[in-house]
Amino acid sequence: MTIAFPPLRVQPQQQRAEIELAINLAEGIVPPLWPLDGAIAVNPLAGFEELAFEQALEEGAALFDARTTLPVSIWRKLLAAGRLTREALRRAAIEALGGYSAAFVMVGPDVSRLDCLMARLTELPPPVPHATPEDPAMDLVAKWCAAFFDGGTASVTMPGRAKGLYRAALALIGHDAQLTALAQGTPRALLAEVPRDPIDAVAQGLDVLAVAEGERIAFLRGLIARLPGWAGHIRWRQHHADAALVEVAPAMMADLLALMLLVVRAAPATRARPRVAPVIADVTGQLARHFALERERFDTGLEAVTTADEAALSAIFQRAAEVTYRDTLVPRLTPPAPAAEDRPAAQLVMCIDVRSEPYRRAFEAQGRYETFGYAGFFGLMIAVHTPNQPRQRMLPVLVAPQQDLTMVAAPGQEAQAAEAIALERRAAATRDLFGTLKGGAATAFSTAEAVGPLAGAMMIARTLFPRAAEAVGRRLKGDASALAPSLDADLPGRGLAFAERLAYARALFALTGMKRRTARLVVLAGHRGQTVNNPYGAAYDCGACAGHGGAANARAMAAIMNDPQVRAALAEDGEGVPEDTIFVPAEHDTTLDEVTLFDTCCLPASHAEDLAQLTAALARAGAANRARRAGLLHRPAADLEIGAKHWGEVRPEWGLAGNAAFIVAPRALTAPVDLEGRAFLHSYDWTSDQTGEALATILTAPMVVAQWINCQYNFSTADNRRFGAGDKTVHNPVGRLGVLRGNGGDLAVGLPLQALFHDDGTPAHVPQRLLTIVYAPFALVEQVISTQAVLRRLFGNGWVQLVVIDPDTGAARRWRGDQEMQRDASGCSAFETLEEVVA
């Protein structure tokens, strides 16, 4: 069927502007979704952060038809396993009922409201879990999105992509049998009359569906929430993608909404999201039987208990988990004794990533070693250019690079670098040739027959001999570590000027509190994971480096710190770095717990013994931490290497599962405590930050990233169908954009099941809000919060819990959110001592 389009009909300018504004306001409910090769964590409810946490969960759950925390049945298992205490649950229940007076109101003979609520939480049959039915109308829209945004991997691409998503799909969708089935016939008249311009189509669709002007934003939000994955991808394209990519296949949120409205108009029954009615239990009857009382003997006043749905009950459990963690951790963080003046044998600066914490502890146990936590991009606002590869951003995704560096041969590795470049060029040419032959009409079958035996041999090798197969693959690729970023300006716009290098060097000391009385060797370690055949490989790499390994940043930062001009300028500040200090770049493989040192051939003979001792200590620390992590994965330590290289491995490591705290303090505060790999550790010394500038930077940048990570893990665990990515074994990548679960549906927005749950379904990650702990005077922290809107939003609305430990007294105080401050008319401070906290 050929569709004849009518002439373009433009809506009156004012109406277009109103529709565009409504779309802009509606699309904010979904965050941008980054592609797989640079995937970073996002909070799926970021669009609700202006609301109080509890209200945001309620509205988000309703809009996305999702759970926002675990079901009661799983929380009970975690309670039995000791992941939260019964006392904390009781305190959270008292808080939910409105305090002690309301909780202990008697509703029957020797039965209080608290008794009834605790019975519902722990003993009565749990509510039926939330059900999420299929949405065939949006599955149809998602199918056309997948065809349009194929990432250039399809042999035959969708025609008309340059016209935009809506117009390209509109030209073809009339032939779609799925649309015909939904509409119970081909909607020829609709397809002929619908406007070609997406804004006009949205306007017409809203009018035809009789959506009142005051309800338009809510209606559009409801549509967007039905495909948050593809909507998030479009938001990424609009605000963060390179212009060249957008030009090939342009798409705005109006395109997606116009396509959605087209399907809804063709099949009006699909106007609203399909929902399953909740099962209503006779809670009063259950309570009467539980307490062996006649139903009529219960007094009034039980409404808060009997009407609480699964979401309300589960929220009490989550609050109890947060209280358990906070009240267990904070008392163990006591003010440290004055630091010794002895010079450490070596120092190690690692990313704040929760996986660094146990390795740091293991390394410190090997001798007189000192460690620091710093954001994994080392504060460098850079992108790197590697021969035969696209430009790679190496900084947090919301920030634009300020400098570009070229990857060149590392000192002493010129031959290896030339080989790596040549092999990559040859591999790229081979991939292009194979793609051409595989997609050609005359060559597809002969190519498949020719490469079949080779592919079969590779499959057997990768299955039975993963280490050998990986070694062969590495040899064919060459040694990429032979390339290092150059600070020199080899091309216009490349390199780092002296003033930029000096600023980065000063920031390292200012933001970590590291004294310039450094050790003879200071290791700057980025990090990366190791996995094969895993679309989510970037999730194991450094989020601060835009989902890439952090070696390039570590090498650039080490080069800056070893620059004689920089060292001389630091000395002019009043305190210089010792002349015998050498900064050594490294990379921490979080999957194998191996730290690889780079550019050690440049070290002088005077440091040979230091290097040998350091290398041995790093190896011992890695072995110790591998043993710990192997126990968490329930496998022998030797299997970790196989898992990292086996193409069938669905859980090479736990990633950041379990993350719960962000601690801003000197290492001496946390060193005596086993934080179990659950805390982001950012080094900080308030005594060298009298203005609070460094603290503001830490709380508004790395802590915000940690909050994204925490929310992604929380909501992916709470409702993996809506906010996660499902089972890895059925993932179907769409180019490098994302994955589908099976052969259709929305683009996955979160993490797969295997990154969050044990094989028996027990969560490895317990959903709880990020607990930020700052070791600094209360007045300094309050001053910083008062000047930063993002902190007032996150702390004030309860998205992040804040505890401040006073360095002089050791007293710990909790920051009270805006809701608590409004309920308390006493005019008390925003801080409250933990001893005063009920829950």
Q: Strands of 812-815's sheet, edge to edge?
A: 679-682, 661-664, 770-775, 800-805, 812-815, 831-833
The amino acid sitting at 703 is: M
* Cβ atoms of residues 261 and 198 within 8 Å: no
Does the pLDDT value for residue 822 go beyond 80?
no
Given pLDDT bands bounded at 50, 70 and 90, which one contains residue 399? confident
> By C-alpha distance, which of 355, 366, 367, 365 is closest to 675?
355
Which of 78-82, 493-497, 693-697 has the lowest average pLDDT? Answer: 493-497
Helix (H) or strand (E) holding 334: none
Cα–Cα distance for residue pair 436/389, rounded to 1 Å: 20
* Cβ atoms of residues 748 and 719 within 8 Å: no
pLDDT tens digits along 748-798: 999 999 999 999 999 999 999 999 999 999 999 999 999 999 999 999 999
Q: Which has more pLDDT, 533 or 835?
A: 533
Given pLDDT bands bounded at 50, 70 and 90, which one contains residue 464? low
- Section 195-217 average pLDDT: 95
Q: Which has more pLDDT, 6 or 800?
A: 800
The pLDDT of residue 245: 83
- Section 402-414 average pLDDT: 87
Q: What percent of the chain has pLDDT over 90?
A: 66
Show the CA angle centred on residue 638, arms to residues 637 and 642, nearest 5°. 120
The pLDDT of residue 824: 44
- Section 825-837 average pLDDT: 52
Does the pLDDT value for residue 628 go beyond 60?
yes
Given pLDDT bands bounded at 50, 70 and 90, which one contains residue 1? very low
Does the pLDDT value for residue 282 go beyond 50?
yes
Residue 663, classed as helix, strand or coil, is strand
The pLDDT of residue 451: 54
Does the pLDDT value for residue 508 go beyond 90?
yes
Q: Which has more pLDDT, 824 or 610?
A: 610
Please state the φ and ψ torsions of residue 51, each to the nearest 5 degrees.
Answer: -100, 160
The pLDDT of residue 203: 96
Please give the DSSP secondary-structure letter assigned to residue 417: H
- Section 174-201 average pLDDT: 92
The pLDDT of residue 128: 79
Does the pLDDT value for residue 839 go beyond 90?
no
The pLDDT of residue 445: 46
**Does the pTM of the predicted model rise above 0.85?**
yes
> Residues near 116 by Cβ (< 8 Å), separated by ≥ 6?
107, 287, 291, 302, 305
* Cβ atoms of residues 806 and 698 within 8 Å: no
Q: Which has more pLDDT, 748 or 735?
A: 748
Instruction: Give the β-pairing of 594-597 and 582-589.
Output: antiparallel
Q: Which has more pLDDT, 649 or 349?
A: 349
> By C-alpha distance, which of 521, 512, 646, 546 is closest to 592?
646
Is residue 643 exposed (0-12), middle (13-18) or buried (19+ Cβ within 10 Å)? Answer: buried
pLDDT tens digits along 44-72: 999 999 999 999 999 999 999 999 999 99
Helices within 162-309 (DSSP H only)? 165-170, 177-183, 188-193, 198-208, 216-224, 228-239, 243-248, 253-266, 283-290, 303-306
The pLDDT of residue 836: 46
Does the pLDDT value for residue 428 go beyond 80?
no
> Residues near 594 by Cβ (< 8 Å), separated by ≥ 6?
588, 622
**Count of alpha carbons within 13 Å of 490, Cβ hemisphere only?**
10
Mean of pLDDT over the chain:
88
- Section 329-337 average pLDDT: 90
- Section 257-282 average pLDDT: 86
Q: What percent of the chain has pLDDT over 70?
A: 87
The distance from CA 116 to its chain's CA centroid, rounded to whole angstroms, is: 38
- Section 90-102 average pLDDT: 95
Does the pLDDT value for residue 302 go beyond 80?
yes
Which of 222-231, 492-501, 701-710, 757-766 has the lowest average pLDDT? Answer: 492-501
pLDDT tens digits along 127-177: 877 777 888 999 999 999 999 998 666 667 889 999 999 999 999 999 999
